[in-house]
Amino acid sequence: MRRFSTWLLLAAALTLGVSGIVHAQDSFGGPRKMPAKEAPKPTLKPTLKPTPTADGARAGGAPGLDQLTQMERADYGIPASRTLHNGEMHGPTPSSIPGGQVVTTQGMLDLQRRKVPHVIIDVLGAPEQLPNAVPGVWLAQPGSFTDPVQTRAVQLLQQVTQGQRDVPLIFYCRSPYCWMSYNAALRAINAGYSNVLWYRGGVESWKMAGQR
């Protein structure tokens, strides 16, 4: 009987010991942590392509016609002159031309849309040209309105206009930083042409407008 009681006491002691050990481990390790959930993967948004706007601009891209007009009419504080420019041909130009008009890209496109007869003269001589342009780089030369260049200019203009002095004559070169077309336009004005248009924006504006 005594031996049986001793076994009961030993079994109770073992049970309490194991319970204490488990409790101690739970207390040290703290509450059991659940595995963290994976963060949701970011959803990639499709890239939007630029779309044309009403005035021909691309969203976030090239300027539209209204912006081009502002650039082409920018005033750099250079006074307009009736005499041929004999300085550096690449630099800021006046915002107007005596006896003629500044035509913008918007005006050029309007002439084409209305199919108004006109003559375009290229005074730049670059590989990139406006459609149907007549070569005339030599018209940019400085000098006077009585020099041999002017005599040759009169002959060319007579030929391309068939003697009609009110035909729109459009002169262009690189950009508003190019005097070459300014000189050429002055030669036409002094030759007696009444509808001389100086495309001040030139090839650069033409390309910005997406024209070829």
- Which tokens is 175 given? 């950009």
pLDDT by 10s per residue, the chain, length 212: 444 444 434 444 434 443 443 343 433 334 444 445 555 544 433 333 333 343 444 445 668 899 999 999 999 999 999 999 999 999 999 999 999 999 999 999 999 999 999 999 999 999 999 999 999 999 999 999 999 999 999 999 999 999 999 999 999 999 999 999 999 999 999 999 999 999 999 999 999 999 98
Determine contact, residues 59/51, Cβ cutoff 8 Å. yes
114 occurs within a structural domain: yes
Domain interval for residue 164:
65-75+91-208
55 occurs within a structural domain: no
165 occurs within a structural domain: yes
The identity of residue 9, as a single letter, is L
Q: Rounded to whole angstroms, what are the CA distances from 172 to 4, 22, 140?
A: 121, 94, 10
Domain count, the chain: 1
166 occurs within a structural domain: yes
Determine contact, residues 121/133, Cβ cutoff 8 Å. yes
Kindly report the pTM of this predicted structure: 0.72
Neighbours of 133 (CB within 10 A): 17
> Residue 16 belongs to what H/E stretch?
helix 2-29
70 occurs within a structural domain: yes
188 occurs within a structural domain: yes
85 occurs within a structural domain: no
Question: CATH number of the domain that 184 lies in?
Answer: 3.40.250.10
Nearest Cα to 107, choosing from 74, 76, 65? 65
